[in-house]
Structure 1
Amino acid sequence: MSNICASCGATATKEAAFCASCGHALKPKIAKKPAKPSANRPWRMPFVAVFAVLAMAALYFWLFIADDLKRDTSLSTTEVGEASNPEAQIFFAMTDANLRNKPTISGSEILGKLPRGSQVTGTIQPGSGVDGGWLELSDGNGFVALANLSQFKPPALVKLLNDQPWVADGFIDVWATTLADSALLDRLRAGASLTLVGTTADNFVEVKLADGRYGYLADAPSILARIGGKPITIGFNPQTCAFSGEIGAEFAKIGAQLRAQWQALEAKEFANDAARQKAYAVVEGKSKYLRLRRSFAGLSLTGLGQHYESQSLYFDDPPAKVMEIFRAQGFDIGRDGLFAGTDLYAGIAATRGEGAAYGKTELSCGV
């Protein structure tokens, strides 16, 4: 860029201090300094600060709060949905069950009966006290106690066992169904209590567990033979009142205990013969009992008794059934319960006196 001489109008270079034509001093051009940023826009500063604060707040919300709000909303929606529309489930009646108009036994009316094997659909409702849970039927026909229902359809029973109690005599597997691919429902230890419902055509025993669940035991004949406890063989000679096997061994133990008691009395010093005889009389007339839980051909042997001149077996079965089983074993028993052809007393009858605490029926033999 060039300078114009104010005196003569000649053109001079921008670096020249004097005009080359007339010698007049030239005025140098002064470059303008660049303006500082925003120096001429002071109103922008507050807006920039506000924008920065809003941007930081939005970032914090997106990172830390938005997800929580989504989760809370999702949970609330789910909880409300479950509370207002619980999922219906399918069950089967394990026994003839009552249909009631309320989910309680006390104060409700029976609307009808639900036959064993019936399929029902409904939602589970909590019970109160001993009532337990209930199923409210989806068709509006009432309520059924969950204790009478199962998620598996029950098979037909060919023999009813009338809810007979049984204490497991060893480890035993309880299956969910009688099918070959059934799941294992539970594995019980010896001493576990079961309720025997009935037997199926494929040789399972339907049972009810202590917690109310239903299941199945394999090998029904074996289970039925063990109903009274561990199987036992009863060897008995009514002519001599002698028992063999385990029962004979138990009576031998009792006899040894009684002999030791007599020997102790004989060795004891008494003030006089009257005191001695009185002590002897107490022992002589007293029976000694032993509780024993065993099974014999479907009978439940519950105890033994050693009396002064006789011995007894006790059964938790009625006299008629005990007679029937012993007749089937080859014993000649009259209608009065007496064993035939013996000079000693040998018979089967209902228990009386102290023996009633050990069983319903007594097989007794002696003088």
Structure 2
Amino acid sequence: MANFCSECGSALSPDARFCAECGAAVSGTENAAAPAAPAASPAIVPPPPIIDVEADGASPAPRRTGLLLGGAALLAVAIGGGAWLGLSSTEEKSGTVESTGEGQHHATAETATLYTVAEANLRDKASLQGSKIVGSLKRGEKAAGTLVTDERGKQWLKLDGGSGFVSLANLAKAAPPALASLDGSDRITTAQCTVLESAAAGAASKMVLKPGAAVRLVGATADGFTEVGLPGGGVGYMPAASACATEPSPAKGAVANSLIQFDARSCELGPELEPYFERARKARDGQNIEETAEEYDFPVDKKFRGLRVTAVIVGYEWQGVAFGDPASKVQAAFRQMGFTIDKNGDFAVDDDVAVSTTIRPTDAGSRSRGQSELICGV
């Protein structure tokens, strides 16, 4: 059934509350507006779940989430602090080794204070090959520095202050004693015997030599010990009355031929003759001979490659060896050793070598010491 406006009579829609034509309120009918219902209480919404990371565009996490995250952060700081303390402790312990610029660790180089057992050359490199002599150390002189190893596995002492390198074969832990007499002969041990580090009762053992070992008798000390040159270099000591008996070497090869180890670049004549050169220098100094004056010789009686060595000679900036053989025979022996020697007896050397060497007949005033001589120097 259609409804009509009581004011203007216009038809009303079934659910109209006002007349569309005159705007009068529709009252007194079934469509009158009912009283408004009270507003409903807002629904209780559960809190969102706690999340670790806030997503893009999401609302900030509730406050209790922040508290939990703050607690986790504090725990992380505590754990991190413990880890830092552990690293600090480890770093302090690693300070016992030296660190390089590349961050790598290496052990501190070993240092030593040693003594020369004979006059020893100082070289600019830790090598016999390609190095130059820059000085020398006297027998018994103290040498302090750092131990280094060359390409052949041989040890050297790099002297403090950068003054040079000296071979460990020429050094010992204790200063060598003064020698009451010199020998210099090549010997062969006839029994197993112990060689001592120093010429003292109760000294530590340095090595044990088996029968047949080749040694060199350097000389005798005043308190009853014999100093011997050892096969691997350096020296040791035997009590004179011990069972370490030796006899003259019957060898005519390596042992006998090691007497002269000549280097034409440096005028070195090898450790076998060094005790004789040392005695000659002391004798020359004792006679107050002027530097540029006469030479001084010291007698030797030893064999070398079929030659007879009769003396060592020291002069001003030169030294040499006298032979009881003609110059031609001596020259032939050194040519067989690989030296180039011209018909005048002069050795061929590189242009950068400052010294010269010659093998010549001795003059009339020096015939008492031999028929010929090898002279090397400036």
Q: Same fold (TM over 0.5)?
A: no
Task: Give me the TM-score of the superposition, normalised by structure 2.
Answer: 0.41
Task: Give me the TM-score of the superposition, normalised by structure 1.
Answer: 0.42
Higher helix share: 1
